[in-house]
Structure 1
Amino acid sequence: RNVVNSLKLPKVSIIIPARNEEKFIERCVKSFLDCDYPGELIEIIVVDGMSEDGTRDIVNEISIRDNRVLLIDNEKKITPVAMNLGVKASTGEYIFFSGAHSEMPSDYISKCVQHAIESGADNVGGVVKTVPRVKSSVGIAISKVLSSPLGVGGAKFRTGVCKPTEVDTVPFGCYKREVFDRIGYFNEQLVRNQDIEFNLRLKRAGGKIILFADIELTYYSRSTFKELWNNNFGNGFWVIAGSRYANIPFSLRHLAPLIFVLTLLIGIVFCVFFSIVCMLLWITLGVYLLLILYESFSRGESLSITLLMILAFPILHFSYGIGSLCAIIFSERAADS
């Protein structure tokens, strides 16, 4: 096994928020059940947001065969509520979270526990291998964009690291149980980005979050441009909207798409009055296009995928930035009313 033999192994709880995930939930749950960690030290809690497909039936069937799996209801259908319900129902010394459309390798739990114990970190995680939910050309192009530094900026868990690195967040995470006693639970008013806010709160309380290069997990990304736009618009919206419910629930890097969109909008307005602004605007757009072309051609496997990546980059950036801008407008209107 990967865990240090001399250590007494702790019990772990895996919490999986889910809603209408019948295509992925069985694969996700089985990836934990079939791992190399001692089976008697694992419990899996699927917190279902009242799914309307076959998700609940699938989980119930698994739980009948394996009593380590528990299904509980999330009547509010909101992710942070699901996460908190899972934590409160869990009994493990270490608490893992997983997306329902994620899949973990057999050594995922053992490596996380080993690194958590040896490093003393409050939260550890690994690098995401992004693959398309549907293996179409568009899906492949989107997965490549979501693994690119140009696409996701400073999200090291997406682009990878060479050595253990202290970061502001990791995907899903393996937490010491005492973290929740120390800083509380996930903010249930944050429909999105609740994990980002929680991890920043943990960092501000003196906690340590470490990303390990040898921990990997598979994430199934959106596979259409519409799904990509909707998902990232929501992420961008809640980065800003979350400020109404939490104290600075984002890092500065999350503002980059908003700054880019605002720069272009301001440039377009003042371009009418100042020729120098118009020139700077074209230079900015030109540099942006060159970066997209370079990154797409260097990562694309074929011409069709490369061309689709050229479309996917601005969809990713603009949807996030426009979402954040809409949140600013919404917040101002709410304040005025």
Structure 2
Amino acid sequence: MLREEEKNNEVTPLTDGVSVTVLLPMRNAEQEIMRCLNAIMANDYPSDLVEIVVVDSMSTDASPDIVRGYIKKHSFIRMLVNPKRLPSVSLNMGLDAAGGDVIIRADAGSVMEVDYISRSVKLLRDTEAVNVGGAQTATGVSYLTRAVALATNSSYAIGDARLRNAQKEKWVDGIYLGAWWRETLESLGGFDDHLADDENYDLSFRLRRMRGKAFYSPALRSSYRVRGSLPRVIKTYGGYGIRMARAIKGHPDALRPSHLAPPGLVIMFMISALLFLYSWPAGTIAPGFYLLHLLIASRRITRRRRYQIAMPLVLFTLHLSWGLGFIFGIFRWGLPRRRTKTLLKAMAGRGP
């Protein structure tokens, strides 16, 4: 960590006195919160222009005590308590308490690169973007979590993996975490605190509706550590699918062809199972092609044989979990019919 006197630089033309609040929602993060805070504090942005607002959602582990230890040593760190536990409520509480001109979101499991804050401020100043973000790299410490991280970082995973590790700057629909001028968030009324976990999807859509642009830069880098066992991975990705279905219910135009692929895979396996009862060759054709796809993808993801062995199972788990979660969400909240028909026609080559 940089010494305090090294970080308290004079205001430079790059910063121009722009103050920053890092919002950090947290719940039961005792394994990660120290890495997260240390990375934020090690950033090269002048420390007298940065504050960290941690919002704890009634953690039952030692993470609040860990944060209190930091607060005793650093006056620019504060902690609020969110009894409702929802991340969107935590973010709004932090926004209300924020004093910075720029708001940067962090997650307790994320680790920012040393220039993350300064690059975020520069991008907001130099572009017309109302939201900026960058590359997200998964890491792991065990055989399973490393395999999941390799899969997640590839273009064969679920969702916006191509975006999370894209090598070129581009305008995008939405990004991981995010950085905004505070006045932008306040003009939107903050995050929708009626939402459980899909507040980022909702915010990105509302920004697009007001013709606000989101900008991705690969120079903005952060990482996060994959946690848990295979059941936890299944629960996590199933939750991603459920949250996406709910987000699409509120914002039908957010539905993309990539969202229909995992539930389509689930339906394909169901149909194949029925076909197998009548003709086993017919029932194995589609799953066979999918297995071939997984084997090819595994070789492209990693050349290390020990991970190639597990990679087909990991990819299958990610795809199936997300697809089942999305289908569950559809049964609960429905699917926008008009938008779905438009996408299916486009995917079939007949045009929207």
**TM norm structure 2:** 0.85
- Equivalent residue for 1:92, pick from 84, 96, 100: 100
C-alpha distance in 2, partners of 1:316/1:6? Answer: 42
C-alpha distance in 1, partners of 2:147/2:205? Answer: 31
Q: Which 5+ residue runs of structure 1 have no aligned equivalent? A: 333-337
Matched, 1:143 2:145: no
1:65-104 map, 5 Å: 65-104=73-112
Displacement of 1:37: 0.2
Give SS of 2:138's match. Answer: strand
Give the superposed CA RMSD: 2.3
C-alpha distance in 1, partners of 2:194/2:259? Answer: 19
Displacement of 1:301: 4.8
Matched, 1:27 2:35: yes
Displacement of 1:265: 2.5
C-alpha distance in 1, partners of 2:242/2:115? Answer: 36
**TM norm structure 1:** 0.89
Question: 2:150 is aligned with what amino acid?
Answer: K
Cα 1:25–1:118 change in 2 (3 A) is same
Matched, 1:44 2:52: yes
Contact 1:108 1:215 in 2 (8 A): yes
Q: Deviations over 1:241-263 (max 9, x none)?
A: 3455x333843133321222223
Cα 1:184–1:248 change in 2 (3 A) is farther
Matched, 1:285 2:290: no
Cα 1:267–1:186 change in 2 (3 A) is farther
Cα 1:4–1:259 change in 2 (3 A) is farther
Cα 1:116–1:269 change in 2 (3 A) is same
Give SS of 2:244's match. Answer: helix
Q: Which 5+ residue runs of structure 2 have no aligned equivalent? A: 1-8, 335-352
Contact 1:16 1:46 in 2 (8 A): yes
Displacement of 1:154: 3.8
Displacement of 1:272: 6.1
Which is worse superposed, 77-86 or 254-263?
254-263
Contact 2:23 2:103 in 1 (8 A): yes
Aligned length: 324
Cα 1:305–1:168 change in 2 (3 A) is same
Cα 1:224–1:242 change in 2 (3 A) is same
Matched, 1:186 2:191: yes
- Equivalent residue for 1:56, pick from 36, 55, 64: 64
C-alpha distance in 1, partners of 2:194/2:253? Answer: 12
Question: 1:56 is aligned with what amino acid?
Answer: P
